[in-house]
Amino acid sequence: MEKLKAFLKRKNIVISAKRYGIDALGAMAQGLFCSLLIGTIINTMGTQFHIPFLTQVVATLGSGDHTISYTVGGLASAMSGPAMAVAIGYALKAPPLVLFSLATVGFASNTLGGAGGPLAVLFIAIIAAELGKAVSKETKVDILVTPLVTIFAGVALAAWWAPAIGKAASQVGALIRWATELQPFWMGIIVSVIIGIALTLPISSAAICAALTLTGLAGGAAVAGCCANMVGFAVLSFKENGWGGLVSQGIGSSMLQMPNIVKNPRIWLPAILTSAITGPMATCLFHLQMNDPSGGVASGMGTCGLVGQIGVYAGWVNDVATGVKAAITPMDWAGMVLICFILPAVLSWLFGQLFRKMGWIGEGDLILPQ
């Protein structure tokens, strides 16, 4: 056992919830953002602003009736599997040969996983990366052995597990979407609160939403929860952190407040209560839906770089183009602005004032760590 521990330490293989559930999951979300989501944004920009370079076909694969054409955004989106896997490998501190080999593993896992591809990539890329790290530089022909082990293990697991993982994730996501359509009020609260909490915790709400394909009304509730936390903390802590804190939390991340939450968990209550209000308002009153073609990742981004709002808009554009929606209405815009910005700011501030008077939030409790 001691020899095994020494070997794992030497190979920097750390089997822990933090390494896999926080580091790897967070990196996967970044990889997804830099490929699928950016590709969607590029396509939307090209369509809305009539930019020929962004809408014209730049690459065609295949021949005859089996050709696939890609725009610039399409190429970026197509690389989501490799991007996620390489990002996971980077988070696991994989050596170069393992890291580069993970591109193939990610492509196989994401393709075979279908709608639940991101979750398949997460599990399989972690295993393939750790196996590759285990054999790295253990032989004189490392340049052959390490890529072979990483790719063979990853692709074999993708063929074996990815369809089942993808199907399971897809079914769970479908169940959440169905339940939200059936009970928009209660599910609006549940989805909004849980995804909002996940956004502020050091895990990836974007990766969770992508893995479960949280779109439609469920996606709208997820956006509401994320915005409640980001805008909520930004406004709630404006007294302590000023404009810098407003920007860093409002369009950056509410995760910056985690050290303060650990010290005083009650500072989280204004954002959580706000999400419990804006979630059902999004689903029942404004019927806010996230139908972004990227498949749900924007649902877990909130106001981070305004990605959530861009995703909602991209979904409107896609719905209009496919005939699902007649037009983008003033009510659509009003709902998005209220749910994403105005209501989180006002409600969090009001709850914050109440809890400050109650003594639950003290002076300096919300100061961001330097």
User: For 290-339, what is each residue's pLDDT tens digit?
Assistant: 987 767 778 888 888 788 898 899 889 888 888 888 889 999 999 999 99
Residue 370, pLDDT score: 66
Residue 148 lies in a domain: yes
User: Which long-range CB contacts under 8 A does 311-319 form with residues at least 24 apart?
Assistant: 311/37, 311/40, 311/223, 312/220, 312/223, 312/288, 312/336, 313/44, 314/40, 314/41, 314/43, 314/44, 315/215, 315/289, 315/290, 315/291, 316/291, 317/44, 317/47, 317/48, 318/291, 318/292, 318/293, 319/291
For residue 122, pLDDT over 70 is answered with yes
Q: Where are any strands of DSSP class E within 55-156?
A: 59-61, 68-70
Mean of pLDDT values over 263-283: 95
Mean of pLDDT values over 70-99: 93
Same domain membership, residue 83 and residue 133: yes
Higher pLDDT, 221 or 207: 221
Same domain membership, residue 189 and residue 91: no
- d(CA 260, CA 48) in angstroms, rounded, equals 42
Same domain membership, residue 100 and residue 8: yes
Residue 296 lies in a domain: yes
Residue 272 lies in a domain: yes
- d(CA 173, CA 181) in angstroms, rounded, equals 12
Residue at which a domain ends, from 171, 194, 224: 171
Q: Which domain, by its residues, includes 25? A: 2-171
Structural domain total, the chain: 2
Q: Is 17 exposed, middle or buried (0-12, 13-18, 19+ CB in 10 A)?
A: exposed
Same domain membership, residue 124 and residue 190: no
State pLDDT tens for residues 181-198: 999 999 999 999 999 998
Residue 367 lies in a domain: no
Banded model confidence at residue 340, pLDDT cuts 50, 70, 90:
very high
Same domain membership, residue 189 and residue 162: no
* Mean of all residue pLDDT scores within the chain: 90
Banded model confidence at residue 199, pLDDT cuts 50, 70, 90:
confident
State pLDDT tens for residues 23-80: 888 788 788 778 877 887 788 788 777 888 888 888 888 777 778 888 998 898 889 8
Same domain membership, residue 294 and residue 164: no
User: Which long-range CB contacts under 8 A does 61-68 form with residues at least 24 apart?
Assistant: none
Place of tokens 């972004």: 292
Contacts of 278 (CB under 8 A, 6+ apart): 192, 224, 225, 227, 228, 339, 343, 344, 347
Mean of pLDDT values over 185-213: 87
Residue 170, pLDDT score: 81
Phi/psi-derived region of residue 50, left when phi > 0, alpha when psi is between -120 and 50, beta in every other case: left
Residue 48, pLDDT score: 73
Residue 90, pLDDT score: 96
Ranking 12-21, 184-193, 270-279, 349-358 by mean pLDDT, the lowest is: 12-21
Same domain membership, residue 325 and residue 227: yes
Q: Kindly state the tokens that stand for 28.
A: 């996967």
Q: 139 phi and psi, to 5 degrees? A: -130, 170
Q: 291 phi and psi, to 5 degrees? A: -115, 35
Same domain membership, residue 345 and residue 201: yes
Q: Could you give the 3-state DSSP secondary structure of residue 264?
A: coil
Q: Kindly state the tokens that stand for 185.
A: 């009020």
Place of tokens 């490929």: 35
Residue 118, pLDDT score: 84
Which residues are bridge partners to 61 per DSSP?
A: 68
pLDDT above 90 coverage of the chain, percent: 53
- d(CA 271, CA 84) in angstroms, rounded, equals 30
User: Do residues 47 and 55 touch, judged by C-beta distance below 8 A?
Assistant: yes
Residue 267, pLDDT score: 94
Contacts of 23 (CB under 8 A, 6+ apart): 91, 92
For residue 284, pLDDT over 90 is answered with yes
- d(CA 37, CA 51) in angstroms, rounded, equals 18
Banded model confidence at residue 94, pLDDT cuts 50, 70, 90:
very high
What letter would DSSP give residue 361?
A: S
Same domain membership, residue 203 and residue 108: no
Residue 55, pLDDT score: 84
Residue 191, pLDDT score: 94
Half-sphere exposure of 12 (CA within 13 A, CB side): 11
Residue 178 lies in a domain: no
Ranking 103-107, 212-216, 303-307 by mean pLDDT, the lowest is: 303-307
